[in-house]
Structure 1
């Protein structure tokens, strides 16, 4: 059996019972369960949610995206073996730690399989909540060009590339296109200040101004928990993106929770601590793949310039990457997951068949 067979690339075609179209993102697909199945699972498994809460199956894939494109490899490799299982395992670990330490719940109610979450419906906050402990990436590129203000925060002169910031910065950006907000362009992923959010809290889907303080606290505390845990295993938590939303508790009241994924190599930069002390950057995250792509193609501007998206999409479609490149990424993902969780990431021979069997026999969600 080849590595290509172990990859779950297409994850929106499972025969899960649903009355709604499957929503497929860059990496995950979401299957909204029927009202009957949602109620049945809540009762059978005693999920701590109101009885009428809509539930979904969230199925991760092994697809690899970078610069808003999906990339593929030679020999039929449509993703990275073990990537999906590694991402889920890492998120599960951090969500568990957050709950243990009394921070907040997540949207996950059950984990039937390493590639699957059963989640409750959440109303997302329209913010990509970004925390930074080092100046690197897009922030460094802007700083190098002379920018000093980021999301309403002013940085001092004289900072060096990849250096540690004086304090952890919260630099949020928009999640989706928000319309009619003064000073905020109508585009996805544009930087916003705390004032922008406070003055337009309802447009960002916050229930109250007080919840902005809570989101910042959960963001900072969550970052701190992960940063300390990574430091304990010789890794540096450089920066990350969190997402938040509201769900209903058992009384039907709104509560703010963590959602999507947290502290993964897809949503964060993680550096090897020992190498950093010697002045070298060794990435244990998707950033290493991004750098490889920037070095691989002669015109890096195609990957960095949002106005060249058509060229970028064509570049990703036309270029099959060598198998060893994808296997190196597999090693990065699985090794950091095993370090974080202390558990082995096992590559499934037929992930799709496994998922179907579990959802059929244990959850009765497949006819």
Structure 2
């Protein structure tokens, strides 16, 4: 079996029983179950959700995206071996720790396979919350150009690249295009301030003003839990993205929960501690792959300039990356997953066949 066979690149064509279109994102695909199958699983598996809650099968892939493009390698390698399983394992670990420490639940109800989550439908808060402990990346680039106001927070003079910030910084942005919010442009992923959220909490889909404080507390607590655990394995939690939503439990209570993924190399920057103390930044996250792409192509502006999206798409489509590049990325993801969870990442010989066998035999979701 070739290396390419072990990669789950296409995850939106599985014969999972559904009566709705499959939602396929950059990395995950979501199969909304029929009302009958949702109700059956809730009853049979004893999930703590409303009896009529919509459920979905969420299948991760090994695809790798960067700069809003999907990249591939030589030998028809359409992804990175082990990446999907590593991402899920890391998220599962943090979600479990959050629950154990009494922070909040997640949208995950069950994990039948390393590539698969059974999730409940959440009503998302329309904010992507970025927590930053160090100044780097896009924030540093803006700061170096003289910008000092970030999401309504004025930063002090004299900050240095890749250094720790005076305190944890929360820099939220819009999730999707939100219209008719004063002072907030109707474009995706635009920075917003805490006062924007306070003054328009309903537009951002918060159920109450009090929930803004809870959301911010869960952000800080979640960040601190992951940062403290990473420090035990001498890794630095630099910054990360959190997403939240509401669900209703079996008793009819609405709960604010964590959703999407948390603390992964895709959604976070993680630096190697010993290297950082030696004055060198070594990425144990997707940021390393981004830097590699910037160095790999002669004109990095194509990757950074949103006005050159057509050229960028062609670059990703027409250039197969060397196999050793994708295997180096694989090692980054599987190594950090094994350090975090204390468990080896299981590399499936045929993930697609495994997923279908489990969903058919144990859950009766494949005809």
Q: TM-score, normalised by structure 1?
A: 0.99
The match for 2:214 is: 214
Is 1:335–2:332 an aligned residue pair? no
Is 1:20 aligned with 2:20? yes
The Cα RMSD (Å) is 0.6
2:287 aligned with 1:325, yes or no? Answer: no
Aligned position for 2:124: 124
Partner of 2:244: 244
- Corresponding residue of 1:99: 99
Of 180-189 and 220-229, deviating more is 180-189
Q: What do the CA deviations read for 1:118-144 (whole angstroms, capped 9, x no partner)?
A: 000001011111000000000000000
Report Cα offsets for 1:184-219 as digits up to 9, x if no partner: 111111110001111111111111111110000000
Of 101-110 and 171-180, deviating more is 171-180
Q: Which residue of 2 aligns with 1:304?
A: 304
Distance 2:35 2:243 in 1: 26
TM superposition shift of 1:253: 2.4
Q: CA deviation at 1:305?
A: 1.6
Matched pairs, number: 367
The alignment's TM-score, normalised by the length of structure 2, stands at: 0.99
Instruction: Tell me the secondary structure at the aligned position of residue 131 of structure 1.
Output: strand
Matched, 1:38 2:30: no
> Match of 1:241, SS?
strand
CA distance in 2, matches of 1:298, 1:138: 21
Q: Deviations over 1:90-144 (max 9, x none)?
A: 0000000000000000000000000000000001011111000000000000000
Any residues of structure 2 matched to 1:62-73 within 5 Å, and which? 62-73=62-73
Q: Shift of the alpha carbon at 1:252?
A: 1.8
**1:294 partnered with 2:294:** yes
- 1:70-81 to structure 2, matched below 5 A, reads 70-81=70-81
Specify the SS of the correspondent of 1:284: coil
Unpaired runs of 5+ in structure 2? Answer: none
Provide Cα deviations, 1:207-246, integer angstroms capped at 9, x if missing partner.
Answer: 1111110000000000000000000000000000010000
**Paired position in structure 2 for 1:225:** 225
Q: Which SS does the other structure have where 1:57 is aligned?
A: strand
The answer to which of 88-97 and 193-202 deviates more is: 193-202
CA deviations on 1:16-61 (whole Å, 9 max, x unpaired) are 0000000000000000000010010011110011110100000000
2:155 is aligned to 155
Provide runs of 4+ in structure 1 moved above 2 Å.
none
In the aligned structure 2, how far is the partner of 1:51 from the partner of 1:226?
33
- Aligned-partner Cα distance in 2 for 1:155–1:338: 36
Instruction: Summarize deviations over 1:272-327 as a string: whole Å, max 9, x none.
Output: 00110010000000000000011111222211122221111111111110000000
Q: How does 1:239-278 map to 2 (within 5 A)?
A: 239-278=239-278
